[in-house]
Amino acid sequence: MPNAIKEALDIQPLVTGGKSVRDVTVDILKPVEAFPTSLWWKAFLLALTITVIDLGIIGYLVYEGLYILGINNPVGWGFFIVNFVFWIGIGHAGTLISAVLYLFRQEWRTGINRAAEAMTIFAVLTAASTLIIHIGRPWMGYWLFPYPNERGPLWVNFRSPLIWDTFAVSTYLTISLVFWYIGLIPDIAAVRDRATGKVRKAVYDILSFGWVGSNKAWSHLETVAMILAALSTPLVLSVHTIVSFDFAVSIVPGWHTTIFPPYFVAGAIFSGFAMVVTLMVIAREVFQLKDYITMKHLENMNKVIMVTGLIVGLAYSTEFFMAWYSGNEYEGFTFVNRAFGPYGWAYFIMFSCNVFAPQVFWSKKLRNSIPVMFVVSIIVNIGMWFERFVIVMTLHRDFLPSSWDVYVPTVYDFMMLLGTFGIFFTLFLLFCRLLPVIAIAEVKTVMPHKDGGHH
Amino acid sequence: MYSPKKEQFHTFQETEHGVFGLFDSPAEIINAAQKTKDKGYTNFDCFTPYPVHGLDDAMGLPRSGLPWVTFFMGIFGCVAGFGMQYLTHKYDWPLNISGKSFNAWFAYIPITFEFTVFMAGVSTAVAMFILTKLPKTGRKVLHPDITTDKFALWIPSNSANYSESGVTDFIKGLGSKHVETVK
């Protein structure tokens, strides 16, 4: 688009500060090339400590058995599934930014897609770890996969949502990883070509797969990026749809609803974007990337959070309406119990965090305020964790009053919840230190060039 | 009717002997590639820090044929995914669940879809790695600035009409300030 038209339409540049193409590489690779700051070390050691403690607890859990947790007979899943759905949801924003916005030619995605995709991968890994532990005997985890075995014709039940989950999550992880790494290859090559030390050069040479920037290769690479974006878009919707099927194909009142798939997908985008905002606000501050992750990027993400917050709010209301309108007394009871039963406080937290808090973004001033968006993004994540908690806690009162019980999480439940954050942040901090957090080559394509390179 | 063409699967060729020149902007490299093609040099390549749109046309490269891989492997994944579930549940290990048909195919859709996407995506990526000859470490880097902000035109010695002095003069004539011979 010519610059005159951009000015007339008041389109802000995506890279501010009058940067040249060389500056982009230099600025973005600064944290990779310099010795880490003390702030990074502090954050990393904190996250690593939490992770190590978490691994210890997991070891203890495997040794002792699941009874050390708060799970009981009606509430058989507890925090694990809450954490699983929460982290899978966090992951979705990364794919949305990298795939859906790519297909819609949203050039502002280039500043944030790399970090968001990394977030996706780490979040899905975290989610997968909770899934493996919750089966109780994690060393049997491979039973979830269909494999030729010596026990005669014995296959997994492909009609079970648990197996759908296995396929969905592993496909999602693989495709996201491939998509992310293919984008990284040219940028790692840039790190290699700027490296001075021999070891460093060799390591990044291996990581870059020997990329040299040939246009014959670029032509294929761009095609693959487009194809993966086109495949990821339905994939990301299908993954959370399938996660929601874990609940929706049951006959438990409050779970057996057709609104679950879209409602889960909207919730995933909502929480994922909130997490991207949380991470980006920190990253641009710590790594001095304000010229690349501009207010425009943050404002756009805040708009997405606001819209998906409204969708989630609509879904909550629709659930309530349908519980009454269906005339099903079990369904009706479940929802009254959710709002006013023993876990009414959780419902209240969920509703106020998810529906009311993001509404501050109607104001342009608040949408552009770093402290406000940081606080709101954290509130949204708390709210979304509680959303999954509320859904899982539906089990505590089902059809038979004689089986009613209350789920009280133990200290191990809480430690393992904290532990998931430890794993996630350890991986994320390592990523920030070792790989470029912004897609350098892609940012260069959206910069205002004086000549050539039309898009 | 569209059909896969061989030239759509253009592969990267190792840089061993030849001449390269550096340029400063996308417009210059597009112009240089166009002239090189018109002049009749073959096997030449351009090295750029980011994808330059319009360069494929200038170099005479057809669109990548990778979507064909996606298409056929997607169909394969779909058939294989559905077939795996159908054969195991209908013949190898029939399970009576609530008296439903052994071929309750609605329940096979999620896995069929996931397997389609998995096969299509992963095999397209694998095909890209084969065509671009990745991974291969220790590759010759013509100039370290190529991954930062320089654009290189590379004419290898196996190019048609190649002569070292002729090519050097040709690239200089295109406006390159840095021309180097690789032996």
Q: What is the pLDDT of residues A173-185, one digit of tens each?
A: 999 999 999 999 9
Min CA distance, B165 vs chain A (Å)?
24
Which element (helix H / strand E) includes A214? none
Confidence of residue A1 (pLDDT cuts 50, 70, 90): low
Question: Which residue of chain A has the CA closest to B53?
Answer: A453
Range name among A203-217, A281-295, A353-367 with the lowest pLDDT average: A281-295
Q: Is pLDDT above 90 for A26?
A: no
Give start and end residues of each alpha helix (H) in A65-160: 79-95, 101-103, 113-134
Which of A219, A451, A452 comes nearest B64 by C-beta? A219
Task: For strands B45-47 and B178-182, give the pairing.
Answer: unpaired
Cross-chain residue pair B114–A168, CB shorter than 8 Å: yes
The pLDDT of residue A14 is 78
Which element (helix H / strand E) includes A189? helix A161-194
Q: Is pLDDT above 70 for A455?
A: no
Cross-chain residue pair A227–B70, CB shorter than 8 Å: yes
**Structure confidence by residue, pLDDT tens digits, A237-290:** 899 899 899 889 988 888 888 899 999 999 998 999 999 999 889 888 888 888
Helix (H, G, I), strand (E, B) or coil at A177: helix
Confidence of residue A318 (pLDDT cuts 50, 70, 90): very high
Q: Is pLDDT above 70 for A450?
A: no
Task: Pick A447 or A316 by higher pLDDT.
Answer: A316
The rounded percent of chain A whose pLDDT value lies above 70 is: 97
Give start and end residues of each alpha helix (H) in A353-439: 364-367, 370-393, 411-434
Question: Which residue of chain A has the CA closest to B151?
Answer: A213
Say how far residue A164 (Cα) sits from the centre of its chain: 20
Q: Please state, rounded to an integer, the average pLDDT across all residues of chain A.
A: 88
Mean pLDDT confidence for A160-186: 91
Q: Is pLDDT above 50 for A122?
A: yes
The pTM of the full predicted model, rounded to 2 decimals, is 0.90
CA distances from residue B34 to A4, A148, A450, B39, B42 in whole angstroms, order as listed: 29, 55, 20, 9, 12
The pLDDT of residue A453 is 43
Q: Is pLDDT above 80 for A16?
A: no
Helix (H, G, I), strand (E, B) or coil at A68: helix
| Total length of chain B | 183
Gap between the Cα atoms of A219 and A205, Å rounded: 21
Q: Is the ipTM of this complex over 0.90?
A: yes
What lies within 8 Å, CB to CB, of B59 at 6+ separation is: A215, B33, B36, B37, B44, B45, B46
Task: Return residues 130-159 of A near B (CB < 8 Å).
Answer: 146, 153-155, 157-159
Give start and end residues of each alpha helix (H) in A208-353: 215-248, 260-286, 295-325, 329-340, 344-351
Confidence of residue A25 (pLDDT cuts 50, 70, 90): confident
The pLDDT of residue A171 is 93
Cross-chain residue pair B124–A228, CB shorter than 8 Å: yes
Cross-chain residue pair B108–A442, CB shorter than 8 Å: no
B88 touches chain A (CB under 8 A): yes
Q: Is pLDDT above 70 for A224?
A: yes
Mean pLDDT confidence for A214-226: 91
Confidence of residue A449 (pLDDT cuts 50, 70, 90): low
B26 touches chain A (CB under 8 A): yes
A198 touches chain B (CB under 8 A): no
Min CA distance, A170 vs chain B (Å)?
9
Q: Which residue ranges make up each domain of chain B?
A: 6-62+140-182, 65-132
Cross-chain residue pair A218–B48, CB shorter than 8 Å: yes
In eight-state DSSP terms, residue A255 is T
Ramachandran angles phi, psi of A292, nearest 5°: -105, -40
Gap between the Cα atoms of B41 and A280, Å rounded: 48
Which of B29, B66, B115 comes nearest A223 by C-beta? B66
Gap between the Cα atoms of A264 and A243, Å rounded: 8
The pLDDT of residue A76 is 84
Gap between the Cα atoms of A17 and A291, Å rounded: 6
A250 touches chain B (CB under 8 A): no
Q: Is pLDDT above 50 for A162?
A: yes
Mean pLDDT confidence for A86-96: 87
The rounded percent of chain A whose pLDDT value lies above 90 is: 45
Q: Counting one residue from A and one from B, how many pairs have CB atoms under 8 Å apart? A: 224
User: Residue B183 class from Cβ within 10 Å (0-12 exposed, 13-18 middle, 19+ buried)?
Assistant: exposed
Tokens (6 digits) for A128? 């997968």
The pLDDT of residue A3 is 65
Q: Is residue A349 a contact partner of residue A46, using CB atoms and an 8 Å limit?
A: no
Min CA distance, B66 vs chain A (Å)?
7
Among A51-55, A107-111, B154-158, top mean pLDDT goes to A51-55
Q: Is pLDDT above 60 for A451?
A: no
Residues of chain B with pLDDT under 50: none
Within 8 A of B144 by CB-CB distance, chain A residues are 193-194
**Structure confidence by residue, pLDDT tens digits, B121-155:** 999 999 999 998 888 888 888 888 888 888 999 99
**Structure confidence by residue, pLDDT tens digits, A125-143:** 999 888 888 888 888 888 8
In eight-state DSSP terms, residue A15 is S
Task: Return residues 93-132 of B near A (CB < 8 Å).
Answer: 93, 95, 97, 104, 107-108, 110-111, 113-115, 117-118, 120-122, 124-125, 128-129, 131-132
Give start and end residues of each alpha helix (H) in chain B: 26-39, 55-59, 66-87, 109-131, 164-173
